[in-house]
């Protein structure tokens, strides 16, 4: 029995286009990227046209070769491929980047009692729902 071909999703096409765009912007040919990744030029072509899904470790390697963050390959020009969990993580990261978020997190971590932390969390939840 042969392997079933992967279904190409819109995100695969967009990631491939971003790889191609950023590769050209870096002045690289497909051959150059293939050599850096130790893969065939055909595989780079398939990535760029979205025929093959790029795995996470390969995506990280491509980002490294192109000297861009991984997010540059998966989040560009207003499109985002994100789940509820990734939105929540982004909101949490934004909050933790504030002075209040950092101070609250550090103070909360210093509380040794699990019961006290849970009580504080319940208090904050109750307070936040009253508005």
Q: What is the pLDDT of residues 31-77, one digit of tens each?
A: 999 999 999 999 999 999 988 999 999 999 999 999 988 888 886 55
CATH number, domain at 45?
A: 1.10.260.40
Within this chain, do residues 42 and 67 fall inside the same structural domain, yes or no?
yes
Within this chain, do residues 29 and 76 fall inside the same structural domain, yes or no?
yes
Within this chain, do residues 96 and 61 fall inside the same structural domain, yes or no?
no
**CA 67 centroid distance within chain:** 16
Within this chain, do residues 73 and 17 fall inside the same structural domain, yes or no?
yes
Within this chain, do residues 30 and 73 fall inside the same structural domain, yes or no?
yes
Within this chain, do residues 103 and 72 fall inside the same structural domain, yes or no?
no
**Domain, as residue range, for 103:** 84-129
What tens digit of pLDDT does each residue of 2-21 get? 555 567 778 888 899 999 99
Q: Quote the pTM value.
A: 0.56
**Based on the structure, what is the number of domains in the chain?**
2
């Amino acid at each position: 029995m042969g392997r079933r071909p992967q279904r190409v999703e819109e995100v695969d096409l967009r990631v491939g286009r971003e790889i191609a765009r950023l590769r050209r912007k870096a002045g690289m040919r497909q051959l150059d990227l293939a050599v850096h990744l130790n893969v065939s030029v055909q595989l780079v072509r398939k990535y760029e046209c979205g025929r093959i899904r790029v795995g996470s470790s390969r995506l990280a390697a491509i980002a490294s070769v192109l000297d861009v963050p991984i997010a540059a390959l998966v989040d560009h020009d207003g499109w985002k491929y994100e789940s509820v969990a990734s939105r929540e993580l982004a909101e949490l990261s934004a909050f933790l980047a504030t002075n209040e978020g950092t101070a609250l997190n550090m103070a909360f971590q210093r509380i040794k009692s699990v019961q006290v932390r849970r009580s504080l969390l319940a208090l904050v939840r109750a307070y936040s729902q009253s508005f």
